[in-house]
Chains A and B, each alone.
Chain A
Amino acid sequence: MIKRIKQMLIKEFLQMLRDRRMRAVIFGMPVIQLVIMSFALTTDVMNIRTAVLDMDKTPSSRELIDEFTGGGYFKIIKTLQSEADIKDLLDRAGVRAVIHIPQGFESDLKSGSTAPVQVLTDGTDSNSTAIAQGYAAGIIQGYSNEKLMDQLQKSGMPKMKPPVETVERAFFNENQESRFYFVPSLIAVMLFIFSLILTSISIVKEKEIGTIEQVMVTPIRKFEFILGKTIPFMLTSYISMTIMLIVAFFVFDIVIKGNIFLFYLLSGLYLFGNMGVALIISASASTQQQAMLTSFLILMPCVMLSGFMFPIKNMPDIVQYATWLNPMRWYLEILRGIVMKDVGLAVLWPAVAAQATLAVTFISIAWVKFSKTLS
């Protein structure tokens, strides 16, 4: 049996890697993609392009504008003269935010009534805009508190600080840089794409061009055939994962904080489950085009509903339950747990259990489906 599997493995590796272009696709593409995408995947909103319409033109209004530029979040690239300019500027996407300080700002401050400051934003990118609005609200609230303290001091009270101060700290990722979140997740996405599509296609290809019948007349058994088809892709996925981790370390400073052995072990579980899905697809598709479309139909929701770009906790309840069936969701939990939080099985066991259940289920379904196809 070992001998037959070995023969099959040799054939598969030859088939997969003899084409130079295929080698590039398997080992080179993921790395290039990882590097480019990781740089692009940033939600760190800095230097928001901002225009100022200062109708007050007083020391107070300039002080407020300095508060905006001081933190590095807002970058004033344009000074407007009239309200009429705002529409055109936002239409052309010249800026994301416009700070509009109406006339009478300083006199309102001095007389003790509330001075309004208008912040107009371009809502066509709702996420960046929400972040920008949050920053603006913080800056104006801070400015307002400062002025309040000044007023109190003038009315004869001793100099004081705001009574309650918030001290913030982010765990696991002190500077809240998004690459620590996205780069490992991107590795999971790449692994999913490659293991799912390549495996399913390689089997369907034999069906489409008829060579599967030749394999069937050899003494090879079903079990050996499945192993022979999946092991090469498991191995290449591992190699490709290792390459990506090395690149992530050198380019992005991503270090696996937890147990690296556990990480590789649990990644195997993930790949194993993906093989199951790929086998199910290949058992039901008869052409490569069908296999690709089906893989993609599975792949897209899995990527989108994994918590990779869109937080699962924001999704409607029904969809949150649906994500339990998504192997990538559990793998991302495991990945982030080990890579960023340095936690072990004591914390990750629910995700590992779910992952294992899914993998075993997929493989079992594949086994049953395959029995029908091959007979």
Chain B
Amino acid sequence: MKIQRLLAVVKKEFLHVFRDWRSLYLSLCIPVILIMLFGYALTLDLRKVPTVVFDQSRSALSRELINLFSGSPYFSMVGYAESYPDLQLALDRGRAMIAIVVPSDFAEKLSGGKNTQIQILADGSDANTSRLAMGYASTIGMIYSSQVTVKRMQALGKKPPDPPAEMISRSWYNPDLRSQNVIIPGIIAIVMVVIAAMLTSVTIAREWETGTMEQLISTPLKGPELIFGKVIPYFVIGMTDVAIAVTLGKWLFRVPIVGNAGLLFATAAIFLSGALFWGMTLSIVLKSQVLANQIAIVSGYLPTLILSGFVFAIENMPLPIQAITYIVPARYFIAILRGIYLKGIGLEILFIDALLLTLYAAVMIVIANKKLKFKLE
């Protein structure tokens, strides 16, 4: 490989990139827009689940129970149903996700010292939210239940006992369970995969499609010089994107970086190289911009979104799928990002992830160079 020829290709590619200002603009804008939008809009925190109440009892006691629900940050009352069909309609329309049904003999039974039931109906079509909401609802039911017991004790003139056991819960690394702290590092990985694979997947294919590849072949240029020369400008763009993403995350969304920022950028560079050469390989093998790009998206974007542990915890997946996640490089990168961002741990714990990431990048570089047949057919 000759530096002089390599630099010539780098220069040519940079010219291509800067000349096509729209692509350049898009590749720098996409990360900003994504981080702003997702950092601001996306949250898995359960708040204000729309709730309807069907209070058949209409008593002071039932209102007390309902106040417990409306006072909690998890539920927001959107209306009162008058009948079961009414309630069914609210769930059908998606106006409410949870319905609380208080039976008509609720107050009589409780004041008579008897036991009673309340019904929680949920729209199970969003299983995650409804499961969380039901959990909270049943805890509120239990709290109300023990309040009733305490009152009964007091009525009998006995001192109400303290609750026998209570939970003190503490969440490490992310004490308020802010989902931004989890989402922003994940978005960095997604943005990098998208930009890297999308940009490089078309480069070589474009040369083939427009016929300029044959001109390149007739020059003294060698295969590796072409590949590295083409990757370098996109590497610069990609690292700029990382810097933008990290800065926005820190200043706009206040996601702290507990660990070593240098290590963050070093591993990002390795991950980026892997993704760039993967896009390159697709471009070399498929020789078609459409095909290479489609495959880059379905093999890059979706797995990074879904199989990396970004939103869906890998340990909840079935075992064969867990096995598949080992070949998704973003899995390692997201583990590293979370380790550095939230846990403040370094290579002493993350070295396996870092090693596998490096291995992935190395394999991609080798494959890209092997696959390029830099001669006329």
A residues lining the B interface (CB < 8 Å): 19, 21-22, 25, 29, 33, 36-37, 39-47, 49, 64, 90-93, 96, 105, 109, 112-131, 133-138, 140-145, 147-148, 151-152, 155, 157, 160-178, 180-181, 193-194, 197-198, 201-202, 205, 208-209, 285, 287-290, 292-294, 296-297, 300-301, 304-305, 309-311, 313-316, 319, 333, 336-337, 340-341, 343, 347
Looking across the interface, which residue of chain B has its beta carbon closest to that of A179?
A: B127
**Quick check: is B248 within 8 A (CB to CB) of the other chain?**
no
Chain B nearest CB, measured from A143 CB (Å): 6
Looking across the interface, which residue of chain B has its beta carbon closest to that of A118?
A: B168
Decide: A39 and B317 in contact? CB cutoff 8 A.
yes
Decide: A125 and B313 in contact? CB cutoff 8 A.
yes
Decide: B44 and A126 in contact? CB cutoff 8 A.
yes
Looking across the interface, which residue of chain A has its beta carbon closest to that of B194?
A: A296
**Quick check: is B369 within 8 A (CB to CB) of the other chain?**
no
Q: A124-B174, A141-B143, A289-B202 are in contact. Are A148 and B22 (CB under 8 A)?
A: no
Looking across the interface, which residue of chain B has its beta carbon closest to that of A173?
A: B124
Chain A nearest CB, measured from B249 CB (Å): 15
CB-contact partner of B125 in A29, A304, A310, A340, under 8 A: A340
Looking across the interface, which residue of chain A has its beta carbon closest to that of B338?
A: A124
Which B residues lie within 8 Å of A157 (CB)? 156
Decide: B92 and A130 in contact? CB cutoff 8 A.
no
Q: A19-B291, A124-B342 are in contact. Are A140 and B171 (CB under 8 A)?
A: no
Decide: A36 and B324 in contact? CB cutoff 8 A.
yes
**Quick check: is B141 within 8 A (CB to CB) of the other chain?**
yes
Decide: B161 and A292 in contact? CB cutoff 8 A.
no
- For A105, A114, A151, the residue with the greatest tally of chain B CB atoms inside 10 Å of its CB is A114
CB-contact partner of B335 in A93, A116, A163, A315, under 8 A: A93
CB-contact partner of A135 in B44, B45, B135, B178, under 8 A: B135
Which B residues lie within 8 Å of A92 (CB)? 349
**Quick check: is B4 within 8 A (CB to CB) of the other chain?**
no
Which A residues lie within 8 Å of B291 (CB)? 19, 21-22, 25
Q: For the side of the interface on B, what is the size category?
A: 35 or more
Chain A nearest CB, measured from B124 CB (Å): 3
For window 104-131 of B, CB contacts with A under 8 Å fall at 110, 115-131
Expressed in whole angstroms, the Cα–Cα distance for A164 and B57 within the complex equals: 14
For window 278-298 of B, CB contacts with A under 8 Å fall at 286, 288-291, 293-295, 297-298
Decide: B309 and A125 in contact? CB cutoff 8 A.
yes
Expressed in whole angstroms, the Cα–Cα distance for A314 and B133 within the complex equals: 13
Chain B nearest CB, measured from A2 CB (Å): 29
Looking across the interface, which residue of chain A has its beta carbon closest to that of B45?
A: A314
Decide: B177 and A129 in contact? CB cutoff 8 A.
yes
CB-contact partner of A133 in B48, B144, B171, under 8 A: B171
Decide: A297 and B170 in contact? CB cutoff 8 A.
no
CB-contact partner of A201 in B23, B115, B293, under 8 A: B293
**Quick check: is B377 within 8 A (CB to CB) of the other chain?**
no
**Quick check: is B222 within 8 A (CB to CB) of the other chain?**
no
Q: A91-B345, A125-B182 are in contact. Are A168 and B138 (CB under 8 A)?
A: yes
Chain A contact residues, majority secondary structure: helix
Which B residues lie within 8 Å of A134 (CB)? 132, 135-136, 139
- For B46, B125, B144, the residue with the greatest tally of chain A CB atoms inside 10 Å of its CB is B125
Chain A nearest CB, measured from B121 CB (Å): 5
Expressed in whole angstroms, the Cα–Cα distance for A40 and B220 within the complex equals: 48
Looking across the interface, which residue of chain B has its beta carbon closest to that of A297?
A: B30
Q: A165-B117, A293-B198 are in contact. Are A140 and B167 (CB under 8 A)?
A: yes
Decide: B306 and A40 in contact? CB cutoff 8 A.
yes
Decide: B122 and A169 in contact? CB cutoff 8 A.
yes
Q: A129-B171, A176-B124 are in contact. Are A148 and B317 (CB under 8 A)?
A: no
CB-contact partner of A112 in B89, B152, B161, B175, under 8 A: B161
Expressed in whole angstroms, the Cα–Cα distance for A137 and B139 within the complex equals: 7
Expressed in whole angstroms, the Cα–Cα distance for A177 and B130 within the complex equals: 10
Which B residues lie within 8 Å of A112 (CB)? 161-162, 164
Expressed in whole angstroms, the Cα–Cα distance for A4 and B106 within the complex equals: 73
Expressed in whole angstroms, the Cα–Cα distance for A297 and B122 within the complex equals: 35
Expressed in whole angstroms, the Cα–Cα distance for A220 and B194 within the complex equals: 38
10 cross-chain pairs, A with B, having the tightest CB-CB distances, nearest first: A123-B174, A170-B124, A173-B124, A166-B141, A147-B164, A134-B135, A123-B171, A43-B128, A178-B127, A293-B26
Which B residues lie within 8 Å of A168 (CB)? 119-122, 134, 137-138
Q: A40-B312, A197-B297 are in contact. Are A170 and B163 (CB under 8 A)?
A: no
**Quick check: is B91 within 8 A (CB to CB) of the other chain?**
yes
**Quick check: is B172 within 8 A (CB to CB) of the other chain?**
yes
For window 138-178 of B, CB contacts with A under 8 Å fall at 138-139, 141-146, 148-149, 152-153, 156, 158, 161-175, 177-178
**Quick check: is B47 within 8 A (CB to CB) of the other chain?**
yes
